[in-house]
Structure 1
């Protein structure tokens, strides 16, 4: 198990989803009480419970499980995790709450994207959260973890069921996918490299830009990304992310009516990302970069296609 102490009672736990250094859950500890932010998948739950044991925390010490949104790499293990944490409350964006109480529609939607074999291999059978132990968040809601304030803001753009969590103690946001992806393999002398994510089916670039700027208004010193880890130098990274969001949307719009649009989107996105990595000073071979980005290229192309269809239909 990879668990990294980030200071301020915050621990990043590699959920082992897909590969190392791809998907993180976070454990916040304050005066012997704890909260998980994101869970990974069902297969990640033993790692999260092992983290508690390693820190000498009983399972009854966990007060909250807070998925940033209900995509399965963030929330697929929430139901199973809640079974092991008898005192915890699951705090979910109001648009995602019903999917935690009854994950059948969530399963069906992901099945359409990934297929049956991948769903069984990567996620396992989804477990419902009991209604008595789940609450909807609200924009501007503040909770206390042993007196430590955690603020939740509605942050659409990647998904309409997305909230981010502000920790004033570390002056950092737990951003889920709102602040994009930054894989440590792509770090260079310039620092981290940022990639937006338009995973189906609710990508909205203008809303995403507004959400990012709202997060910046708190003058954060760091961001805790699910994919992957803690990043600093936030204003610089935010500007790179917003430029990349606009470039990705412009690329999609330029291809909205071409034959075999999905293949064209994938090819164009990959070349866009590879060119950006070269400018960033990434030293990895292009073939390795393409391998690391293959899932994101596929999902971003799918998400952009859904967004394009909505633009064409005027929705």
Structure 2
């Protein structure tokens, strides 16, 4: 596995090889007397997280805080398993997500319905977090560490159980999926690409843009994405989100008009194709070859985005 990345100000990024892929999902380590980890990904990523900590010279029993931005399994599915190695840690979670970490039965049921036979390989095991080791954070609440302060901001749009966390020493923010997915492999083409993450079933574009505006008002110096890495050009991130999100909706609505008599599966496939063409046309303009590794991520992401947009449009029209 790759070495942890030093992001300065006592923050490191560990690549935890979600889905077995490099630069897909990351865990952030805040080096403080009260050692803190942000995001764990799914359980198959936990060995990579533990190895990353070892490479940093850190012991899991020294971790005091584990934070998950939201409870989607690619961010929090492994928190219960990871907690078994962290006897002195508390798990910090959005109020809407707390009960699902204590009793993940609904998360498991929902994921099995979507992923079927792939579930075990992707997510198993999903271990409950003991109630007494969970701490929820309301909007604006703070966690004071030894030499920095973490402030939790409710940030819906991607999910209602999502918060973003401002870190005072670096003046950066951990945004999970709220303001998009970052594709560091495109930096070789001098492109910082950020695309919206519109996954089902709580996607809300207006709430997403409201969350973006709220983060923008914090005037942070860097954005730490769940997928994957850090951008030190926040204004570019905000600009891209405001450009891509309406375009995602526009091409999706057009695709659905053409497929209005089709079933749900065909409608979703049509939206996925429209989103893929929109993004691939942009990458063509940058000179990114179609066999480039970034397309592995683009394919997965537009697939999930299509599901969320079709679900959202159906709700709006109902």
Normalised TM-score (structure 1): 0.94
Name the SS for the 1:255 alignment partner.
helix
- How many angstroms apart in 2 are the aligned matches of 1:10 and 1:146? 14
| Per-residue deviation, residues 195-249 of structure 1 (Å, max 9, x unmatched) | 1111111100000001011001011111111111011111122111121011111
How far apart in 2 are the matches of 1:168 and 1:252? 39
1:216 maps to which residue? Answer: 216
1:50 is paired with a residue of what secondary structure? helix
Instruction: Report the counterpart of residue 228 of structure 2 in structure 1.
Output: 228
Where does the alignment leave 5 or more consecutive residues of structure 2 unmatched? Answer: none
Contact 1:177 1:197 in 2 (8 A): yes
Q: Could you tell me which residue of structure 2 aligns to residue 139 of structure 1?
A: 139
Give yes or no for contact 2:256–2:270 (8 Å, CA) kept in 1: no
The residue number in structure 1 matching 2:101 is 100
Residue by residue over 1:157-204, the C-alpha shift from the partner in whole angstroms, topping out at 9 and shown as x without a partner, is 000000001011111111100121111122255431111111111100
Alignment partner of 1:269 is 2:271: no
| Displacement of 1:82 | 1.0
TM-score normalised by the chain length of structure 2:
0.93
SS at 1:46 equivalent = helix
Could you list the per-position Cα deviations for residues 82-121 of structure 1 after superposition, in whole angstroms to 9, with x for gaps in the alignment?
1111111111001111110011101111222222x22111
The aligned counterpart of 1:240 is 240
Query: 1:186–1:282: 8 Å Cα contact kept in structure 2?
Result: no
SS of residue paired to 1:11: strand
Aligned length: 310
> Which residue is 2:14 aligned to?
13
Provide the aligned C-alpha RMSD in A. Answer: 1.6
Task: Give distance in 2, aligned partners of 1:168 and 1:109.
Answer: 36
Q: Distance in 2 between matches of 1:109 and 1:242?
A: 31
1:204 corresponds to which residue? 204
- Give, in angstroms, the shift of residue 276 of structure 1: 2.4
Contact persistence 2:181–2:194 (CA under 8 A): yes
- Relative to structure 1, the CA distance from residue 251 to residue 125 in structure 2 (aligned partners, 3 Å threshold; closer, same or farther) is same
1:168 counterpart = 2:168: yes
Q: Secondary structure at the match of 2:237?
A: helix
Contact 1:274 1:289 in 2 (8 A): no
State whether residues 153 and 164 of structure 1, in contact with CA within 8 Å, keep that contact through their aligned partners in structure 2. Answer: yes
